[in-house]
Amino acid sequence: MTRTATQGLVMIGAFVALLLVTAAAFVKFDGHGLLGTAIGAGLGVLNLALGLLATRRALRVKMSAAVGTVAGGFVLRLLVVVVLMVVFQRTEAVDPAAFALTFMIFFFVYLGVELLMVERSLTPARKAQ
């Protein structure tokens, strides 16, 4: 694994730890908080599964397809989070902070997995040089 990939994984791990501490400090784990956490975790797992499939498929085609998939997925996830946070703030049935923090934890885990997938796909090309 390259130095850059290792540093990226360390940074991702630090963000996950920071988000966990922030969630523990700011989220009240009452009914609204638990519902927000559950929705964030559910969407996070769905994002992880669909993202892995899309990225794996794009990496088989070519690197420009993978970059497009990663960029498009980022924009889509951003829109989903923003829309759901606005909906949750207006309905007050779900804690939007619990949702967003939980989803972001899963997002950074996915980012780490994605980094490893891209790094692994580049390894044969580096060995050939």
pLDDT in tens, 37-64: 999 999 999 988 888 888 888 888 887 8
The owner of tokens 């769905």 is: 46
Domain that holds residue 80: 3-116
pLDDT band at 11 (very low <50, low <70, confident <90, very high): very high
Using the predicted structure, report yes or no on whether residue 124 has a pLDDT greater than 70. no
Distance from C-alpha of 27 to C-alpha of 97, rounded to nearest angstrom: 7
Query: Long-range contact list for 54-60, CB < 8 A, 24+ apart?
Result: 55/114, 55/117, 55/118, 56/117, 59/117, 59/118, 59/121
Q: What is the mean pLDDT of the chain?
A: 87
At residue 28, the 3 state secondary structure works out as: coil
Residue 54 belongs to some domain of the structure: yes
Count: domains in the chain: 1
Residue 123 belongs to some domain of the structure: no
